[in-house]
Chain A
Amino acid sequence: MNQEELNNKIAQIKDRLIEIEQPFDNRIYLTCEAQNSYDVSKFLFEDIGCRFVIATGIDSDNCFEVLYHYSYDQTGCVVTIKAIIRDRENPAIESIAPFLPGAEWIEREIHDIFGIEFKNHPDMRRLILSDDWPEGVYPMRKDLS
């Protein structure tokens, strides 16, 4: 589909979203609560056929964010889901790895460096931190400079 069709298709899930921003034709940001991000991801990957690129964890002072980046290669559009995790004490979000094996590693990495739990992840083991890295120390959190 072309870009306009893509925009229209994405609007179909706007009830799951807080906001849709499109600063350029080929850059779309979909903000949503953490509990909706699984459905939005599934929609982008399975219904639209976007390619999963990577996920970014962010420590945003009053919340955590997990950004899931997708690419719709036919139009060169990068669609980013911004999932807001409001619970800073026990940050958690549903894993998308069960339907997207390509996301397995990055969710493990974000768990290592931010301490965010990915529910129902098929294989949540340490990925990039060393065997002797202390538990509970999340190097990418802002309070650890």
Chain B
Amino acid sequence: MKKSVKKPVLAVGPFHPLQEEMEFFQLTVDGEIVTDIDVRISYNHRGIEKISESLQFDQVPFLVSRICGICSASHPLAYVNAVEEIAGVTPPDRALYVRVIINELERIHSHLLWVGLAGHFIGYDTVFMWAWKYREPVLDLLEEITGNRNNYGNVKVGGCREDIPNELKPKILKELDEIEKKTELLTKAVLDDPVLHARLKGVGILSKEAAVKYAVTGPTARGSGIAIDVRADDPYAAYDALDWNVISQPEGDVFAKAVVRLLETFESIKMVREALNKLPDGPITVEVKEIPPGEAVGHAEAPRGETFHYVRSDGGNRPVRHKVRAPSYVNVPSFKASCIGQHIADVTITLAAVDPCYSCTERLAVVDSRNNLVHDYNALLKLSRERTAQLRKELGVPKLKMEDLQIG
């Protein structure tokens, strides 16, 4: 914690009140406006790249899917994309479609998770309960296909470990219809609500220029008008065979990022439907006997942005070097550009808008310290929710429309 300050410092950490992981943010404030921000990370560093060098190539996917729980399909996919490039191997078509289905199902439940958390942060617990309830069917589907709600373990060098049985298709399609209906309700509630407009529009703006300098990716970039998406720019799996759109918004604020995530969820639902209908017959894996010497990069579009893996082989059965870059590693530092000038009540939702996958990077925690006073978790959450309540009062809107609906 900074001691020699003329202006009070807001220390945020090490247990983020609104997120579950440990991080340590320091905010310098002038009154209630943030003038600078710094982060101490390290709490989540597990030394994964070194562990990778001690594992065999086909053991690494199990390690990297546990880098982060909700990018757990994207990391192994980026890794095998790299290794398959070194080995000169192309998985069978059916495997490429299965990879799309698993990854898009993950994107759906990840985006719904984010919407729920964002709702919670600003005081809409109905949104939180709603979003988290309706991501459950997606987790159940993933469990039925792969055996686990998270950490699917489905990707291997050369293809997939588990197939999607054709008998399961009608059930998945039926569940998707239901999820789509609920997501439509949620989206309408968010996009139409005047209080959410007032609370989130113009908040935490990341300009296009800053987005480029901080090299951000995913919805953080697409919410600032940079329409990049690995699935379209450097297609992998079966993405180039499907009909879908890259979603982007120009405003760069928290609202824009929320819109991008919500609309992307619909694109994902579309993609899963199309991939299921087009799922070709045939094997789901090719045998890969050895990995020759060489190097390659592999990337995949995780819910948070580009996961990027670099792999080097010397012809042995372990990677000589395996570099992992999670999307949050470049997205999180952009807080420097988007938080400065913000009111402290808006800092937490601005941080959350980047959807930091804490495990991917490290974690952030916020503890309010003003004039040497330490506010606890509840106080900072309260600040954010009070802001929302104040706006509701000013706009004369008693509650969110969906609060009338049963969660049941």
Contacts and interface: CB of A to CB of B under 8 A. Distances in A.
* B is a partner of A: yes
B49 interface: yes
Interface string B322-345: 010100011001001000000000
B214 A54 contact: no
Nearest to B320: A58
Q: Which 6 A-B pairs have the closest CB atoms?
A: A76-B234, A102-B215, A54-B325, A56-B323, A52-B215, A76-B233
A128 B41 contact: yes
B280 interface: no
B403 to A, nearest CB: 41
23 contacts: A27-B85, A27-B297, A51-B215, A53-B299, A53-B325, A54-B329, A56-B310, A56-B323, A71-B234, A74-B233, A76-B235, A77-B234, A78-B234, A100-B213, A101-B214, A101-B336, A102-B213, A102-B330, A106-B325, A126-B42, A130-B42, A139-B50, A140-B50
Contacts of A54: 308, 323, 325, 329-330
Contacts of B333: 101-102, 104-105
Interface in B41-56: 41-42, 45, 47, 49-50
B321 interface: yes
Interface of A: 24, 26-27, 29, 51-54, 56, 58, 67, 69, 71, 73-78, 80, 100-106, 126-131, 139-140
Q: Is the interface of B mostly helix, strand, loop or mixed?
A: mixed
A80 B321 contact: no
Contacts of A52: 215, 330
Contacts of A130: 42, 45
A139 B213 contact: no
Contacts of B299: 53, 78
A65 to B, nearest CB: 9
A94 B323 CA distance: 21
A58 B321 contact: yes
Given A54-B330, A78-B234, A139 B308 contact: no
B21 interface: no
A69 B299 CA distance: 12
A129 B46 CA distance: 10
A101 B234 CA distance: 25
Contacts of B321: 56, 58
